Amino acid sequence: MYNDKKYTIAQIKEALLNDYKGNKDQTIMQTMFQMKAPKYGNNDDEIDEIGGKVMETWCNECWKYKTPNDFQFRPRMLSWNYRADPDASKCVATPNGRNSISYYKGCS
């Protein structure tokens, strides 16, 4: 969507901050992101390559650092749904079309 100049970074940022509820255009943008934007893992080689580069960069950066107790940070990839504590309510809307919600609600 961004590469096609459909939306500017400023428009996307505003929609995310408004949880896609700022106006009708933001609601349309959210639907476009959910339904039309390419996604990692859907046999789109270009997008899968970008996902691989993101993970490689993350791993290379993590291995450079240690904790204050001299333990090595170990890069891992976890799903967002692992976040189920009171701070989860601070998760904002994401560019894949997900709304800002709390995963903590209903957790016991």
Angle CA 104–105–107, to nearest 5: 65
Q: How far is CA 10 from CA 2, 4, 87, 96, in A?
A: 11, 15, 26, 16
Confidence at residue 103, expressed as pLDDT on a 0 to 100 scale: 54
Taking the CA atoms of the chain, what radius of gyration do you get in angstroms? 17
Q: How far apart are CA 12 and CA 28, in angstroms?
A: 12
69 Cβ neighbours under 8 A, 6+ residues apart? none
Confidence at residue 108, expressed as pLDDT on a 0 to 100 scale: 41
Confidence at residue 107, expressed as pLDDT on a 0 to 100 scale: 47
Query: Is the model's pLDDT at 5 over the cut of 90?
Result: no
For the record, the structure tokens of 6 come out as 């459909």
For the stretch 56-92, pLDDT in tens is: 999 999 999 999 999 999 888 765 555 555 655 567 7
Within the chain, how many helices (H) and strands (E) appear? 3, 0
For the stretch 31-60, pLDDT in tens is: 999 998 888 777 889 888 988 899 999 999
Q: Where are the domains of the chain?
A: 1-37+82-108, 42-77
User: Is 30 within 8 Å of 15 (Cβ atoms)?
Assistant: yes
